[in-house]
Amino acid sequence: MTETLETLAAENTVKDRMMQLVGFTIDAEQFGVNILMVQEIIRSTPITSVPNAPVFVEGVINLRGNIIPVIDLRRRLHLKPGEIDPDETWIIILDIEGKITGFIVDSVTEVLKIQESRIEPPPDIIVAGLESQYIQGVCDIGEKLLIILDFNRILLVEELQSLKSM
């Protein structure tokens, strides 16, 4: 009986665990990334183009003496093309497996606290236009669905190696 109560308590703890996400938008779509991956969020800064870089790599920035590759997340996710307005975009600086990388987004919304039990695997209709490997889950946040991205899988192994060589 005691083991059963402990098992139920452990299951309830798992169900009630909260995940903190940094919310951001690209076009009208809402996305989220685990807050533990976020190093910082900056307004767009001058980006230097890199010759022969993959099409989704916007270039590199100098952030306090560190050269950081910057990826246009809209292009990487194959979303509707749009113009990058340096005065209106944000760069989310993430630590991806020890590699600091910037991702251009349209806007950063807020820090969201979501119960892990509310996060559902993405239905096929949601991942149309996106490769499902990037999507960790989907959560209803009221008027819209929040797509939680797995940034550890956004870049393929060879793309990570390419970024390391920049």
Q: What are the residue boundaries of the structural domains of the chain, listed by start?
A: 18-164
Tell me the residue ranges of DSSP E strands in the chain. Answer: 18-26, 29-34, 38-43, 57-63, 66-72, 90-96, 99-105, 107-115, 135-140, 145-149
Residue 32 clears pLDDT 90, i.e. is over it:
yes
User: Is residue 33's pLDDT more than 90?
Assistant: yes
Dihedral, 148, 83, 42, 141 alpha carbons, nearest 10: -30
What percentage of the chain exceeds 90 in pLDDT?
32
State the average pLDDT over residues 66-74: 92
In this predicted structure, what is the pLDDT of residue 94?
A: 95
Residue 26 near residue 79, CB atoms below 8 Å: yes
Lowest mean pLDDT among 50-54, 122-126, 137-141: 122-126
Nearest to 108 by CA among 33, 29, 22, 46: 22
The answer to whether 90 touches 103, Cβ cutoff 8 Å, is no
* CATH code at 18-164: 2.40.50.180
**pLDDT of 45 strictly over 50:** yes
